[in-house]
Amino acid sequence: MNETMSKPTFGWVAWQNENGGYGYISAQLSKGLRQAGINFVNAYTGQWDLLLAVCTPAAWLLPVQKDGTRTIRRDLVMHTMFEAEPLPPGWVENLNACGLIWTPSQYCADLFSASGVKTPIFKVGYAVDSAYEYKAREVSKEPMKFGIWADNLTGRKNVMKSAWAFIDAALPDAELEIKLNSFAGMNSETAFVDKSGRPFANISLHMGDWPRKKLIAWLQSLDCLIYLSGGEGYGLMPREAAACGCPVILHACTGMLEYARPDEYLLVGSDGRERSITYTLGYGYQATQAKPNYDEAVEQIRWAYHNRGELYDMGARASASAHEQTWDGVCAEAIGKMTNYWHERTSGLLVPVG
């Protein structure tokens, strides 16, 4: 972007719950955009050039005619993503009524385009907050501590499948700690039991929101995080873990391909697709998600256990990569893309935004 080019004024619509995916991202973007020079105008005045919406493409944001058709709202920049396939009913129509789409991964950009979205799309990913500091690990004789981090037991992040992969790896001296952001209605004694009905003594379950300082300390304490999600728009959680120096066993699919390098992550391939119960129920259609290769996951857990020195070196490289980008830099790049679009729209000239 030419530094002398005038910038548009921005309005702002976003989910504000910092504990959820979109809510957390909106909080980071709001801070980063302001630090990059954007002052959002009062939402009640309507005196903006571009309205940035950080949410799913809800129809209430878009003008609907009496005959049910939608006109294109060219001032609307929709920051959105999706993790399953195909897109839910109504998404393509709503996205085609936006002026511009900002998505964080090439997977989402390709999914939107392949689904019939004609609106211009640009990709700018995410950064990791500097609070997620690197902590070096040293090989010791202490029991190896694995972790699983997700919102709940039953969502697309495959918590149960990840836990059973750890169990089936049959490691003689290892522990598993599962951190869930919500309350699951059970504990480790009821969620994970052996064939005789006895709970696994080396598995513990922690539920509820933690202060960020406590969460970071937990990530820094892990020897390895198991992250077998069936789909991510970007996948910031494993990136934040990696920033702390925590090596990650990662399902290499969807938005996580933005950073899933084999010298930085222990990668698990996909074994086709499977029905996504969460998205099928939540959106009312038949949705599928990527299916992690279970046998590969078990073998990667075993490799991590038997190669701790190499594993920690991998975590150090992933941490360095995660800290290369900042939210200020991400937001400055996105502002440039949106400014180009605004000048295209107001001048009638074709200015690429992708």
d(CA 73, CA 97) in angstroms, rounded, equals: 6
Here the CATH number for the domain that contains residue 93 is: 3.40.50
- Examine the domain organization and report whether 331 and 313 are in the same domain: no
Other CB atoms within a 10 A radius of the CB of residue 147 amount to 24
**Statement: residue 121 has pLDDT above 70:** yes
**Statement: residue 84 has pLDDT above 90:** yes
pTM of the model as a whole:
0.93
In a domain, 353, yes or no: no
Q: What is the pLDDT of residues 225-240, one digit of tens each?
A: 999 999 999 999 999 9
Count structural domains, the chain: 2
In a domain, 3, yes or no: no
- Examine the domain organization and report whether 331 and 314 are in the same domain: no
- Examine the domain organization and report whether 188 and 101 are in the same domain: no
- Examine the domain organization and report whether 281 and 156 are in the same domain: yes
Here the CATH number for the domain that contains residue 174 is: 3.40.50.2000
> pLDDT-based confidence at 354, cuts 50/70/90?
very low
In a domain, 138, yes or no: no
> pLDDT-based confidence at 348, cuts 50/70/90?
low
In a domain, 264, yes or no: yes
- Examine the domain organization and report whether 161 and 263 are in the same domain: yes
**Statement: residue 300 has pLDDT above 90:** yes
DSSP 198: P
In a domain, 183, yes or no: yes
> pLDDT-based confidence at 189, cuts 50/70/90?
low
Angle, CA 43 vertex, CA 38 and CA 47 arms, to 5°? 75
**Statement: residue 284 has pLDDT above 70:** yes
Average pLDDT rounded to a whole number, residues 21-26: 88
Domain hosting residue 309, numbered range: 144-322
Instruction: Calculate the CA 115 to chain-centre distance.
Output: 21
d(CA 107, CA 263) in angstroms, rounded, equals: 21
pLDDT mean across residues, the chain: 91
In a domain, 304, yes or no: yes
- Examine the domain organization and report whether 164 and 284 are in the same domain: yes
Phi, psi of 243 (to 5 degrees): -60, -30
Nearest Cα to 39, choosing from 282, 283, 30, 270?
30
In a domain, 306, yes or no: yes
- pLDDT (0 to 100) of residue 45: 81
- Examine the domain organization and report whether 105 and 228 are in the same domain: no
Phi, psi of 126 (to 5 degrees): -115, 170
- Examine the domain organization and report whether 212 and 312 are in the same domain: yes
- Examine the domain organization and report whether 239 and 198 are in the same domain: yes
- pLDDT (0 to 100) of residue 17: 59
Average pLDDT rounded to a whole number, residues 52-75: 85
- Examine the domain organization and report whether 105 and 174 are in the same domain: no
- Examine the domain organization and report whether 232 and 297 are in the same domain: yes
- pLDDT (0 to 100) of residue 190: 67
